[in-house]
Amino acid sequence: MDFDFSFFLFSASLVTGIIWGGYYYHLKRTNTPYIEENEPLIVEYARSFFPVVFVVFLLRSFIAEPFRIPSGSMMPTLLIGDFILVNKFTYGIRIPVINKKIIDISEPQRGDAVVFRYPKNPSVDYIKRLIGLPGDHIRYIDKQLYVNDQPIKYVSLGRYEGMGQGKSMTGAELLQEDLLGVKHKILINHRAPNIKGTFIVPQGHYFMMGDNRDNSNDSRYWGTVPEENLVGKAFFIWMNWDWENTGIGFNRIGTVIK
């Protein structure tokens, strides 16, 4: 069990609910009329906070959860300072805190931008592009990706111009990648060392890569992601804040993540 913000919300909901409900149960059991002026301060706080905390807990656990992008590993799709929303139910309904799936809804699809718990440290959330499904053979040789021995096609879109905290990627090549029908943009830094590797994705696991291919700590280095580590699918940018650029990036707000 990871003692993260979900655990805090669950605990706060439980404690305030017990205090509020317990007080009214005590009044009913002792046939004591409710008088607002006599309500203990701790009960007043519990009554005020419980509905808010509980609703936030439900929304965050089952509907959508906000995340902030702290690194450039998903450039150009996601920039440092993007605030995103993640669909929590698209891959199935899970019991909060223990993260056990109880209802299947849909399977992860190749090309999804996925938030997951980092396998080597589940208290840390990562976001990457889903490249390999269970059973896939993945090869990455001289900056060329192969899925099941099929070379992935690229279209060059020219020189990338970085901004704000992503300025270091200026000069990289911007490409459109056709991931077997899913088109999205990636960055390749031809000055970076070549990475080579061949991988077979185990059943119940997924192979993840960052869109910033030469600046991403992903499955090429630490392996695949178990299904139980999936958090959800990123789908929307609701805010961008980069103090090294213009502060609020209004042009990023409302962007659908592809």
Please answer whether residues 192 and 181 qualify as being in contact, where contact means their C-beta atoms are separated by less than 8 angstroms: no
Please answer whether residues 15 and 23 qualify as being in contact, where contact means their C-beta atoms are separated by less than 8 angstroms: no
Any idea how long the chain is? 258
Residues 6+ apart with CB under 8 A from 224: 119, 132, 199, 201, 202, 205, 206, 207, 208
Q: Which of 13, 61, 73, 219 is catalytic?
A: 73
Indicate if 120 belongs to the active site: no
- Give phi and psi for 98, each to the nearest 5: -90, -10
Site of tokens 């650029």: 245
Indicate if 73 belongs to the active site: yes
Q: Which of 13, 61, 88, 128 is catalytic?
A: 128
- DSSP per position, 83-102: EEEEESSTT-EEETTTTEEE
Active site residues: 73, 128
